[in-house]
Structure 1
């Protein structure tokens, strides 16, 4: 791995970029479980080249998901001051749901400890609290509950071949997050 003092040579930079593109695609398709040898083959480099740039699979995964999670944090923060907190919360949740339905590594990305995950947690907590204060989301649901539901939903979506599963499960989650309706008034 190149030191912070020396920039990468042009060929080393190209290899690193190819590894990152291959890893992004491989992790999105197969999640964290994809072998590094598969990533190396996709990138057209040897496993040793991957290890020179990323000493562990965790380091490579962190490099790949950093941009994705940063984008999610940015999206959540952009919704934080929206005039309709409920609409903002559900718009972000829909964005996150679409991401998780198409990219298998989203549930893995939501479990990598560190400051980026803390930022995501805080940004989602802000949206959730505002939506709850506005009466758009049932009280008592915590951000940890929500992230647990989402991780489980993403895992379930990728466990089966049913193309409609993601939409059905996500609809149930959205419906379950809405506050319960008042019971109808008794008729005399």
Structure 2
């Protein structure tokens, strides 16, 4: 049986909650108060929790476009002739979005843990890990990247760069510099 379509007012509340949550997460990070998000959206806490029973559900809704984009970008880069360029391009794109909203890097790393495995965000983090794993394995098979690196470690290192870049005066410049250092350590040549 198909779920019933949302009523127009419920759809408006849903979209307003996502928009308000995105703004709150940008301003206060991903640990922003859910009750404050509901209040700022002009709805009661019950409405927020009816649409998003857990923080994970709300975070997933806010980040779902970003997650889908990362997965599509990884699939597209599998056709890039240079596997190292493909991996670096994906990680650069990942870092571009890892700082927006603030705290996204930390949320993705936490979602990779066993505690989150059964959640929507945990499933998405696993898909991200698998996507970068495919790019990493391809670069390793080509002899460009060390074979002792794995996808989870690479994501953790990249997330650490994202967290540090959030606090830098020039986040993008800092992230680029740290990513270059990371690749210097990963290269086999």
Q: Name the TM-score, length of structure 2 as normaliser.
A: 0.81
Q: Cα gap change, 1:165/1:38 in structure 2, threshold over 3 Å: closer, same or farther?
A: farther
Aligned pair partner of 1:52 in 50, 53, 69 = 50
Instruction: Work out whether residues 136 and 151 of structure 2, in 8 Å CA contact, stay in contact via their aligned partners in 1.
Output: yes
Q: 2:42, 2:50 → 1: CA distance? A: 15
Unaligned 5+ runs, structure 1: 182-188
Q: 1:110, 1:69 → 2: CA distance? A: 14
Show the counterpart of 1:146.
154
Aligned pair partner of 1:173 in 156, 166, 182 = 182
Show the counterpart of 2:86.
88
Aligned pair partner of 1:131 in 125, 139, 151 = 139
> How much does 1:32 deviate?
2.4
Show the counterpart of 2:24.
26
Residue 128 of structure 2 aligns to a residue in which SS?
helix
Q: 2:161, 2:22 → 1: CA distance? A: 21
Unaligned 5+ runs, structure 2: 112-116
Q: Name the TM-score, length of structure 1 as normaliser.
A: 0.81
Q: 2:147, 2:4 → 1: CA distance? A: 53
Show the counterpart of 1:104.
102
Aligned length: 177
Q: 2:75, 2:29 → 1: CA distance? A: 26
Show the counterpart of 2:169.
162
Q: Cα gap change, 1:84/1:43 in structure 2, threshold over 3 Å: closer, same or farther?
A: same
Q: 2:37, 2:108 → 1: CA distance? A: 18
Instruction: Work out whether residues 128 and 143 of structure 1, in 8 Å CA contact, stay in contact via their aligned partners in 2.
Output: yes
Q: 2:160, 2:168 → 1: CA distance? A: 16
CA RMSD of aligned residues (A): 2.3
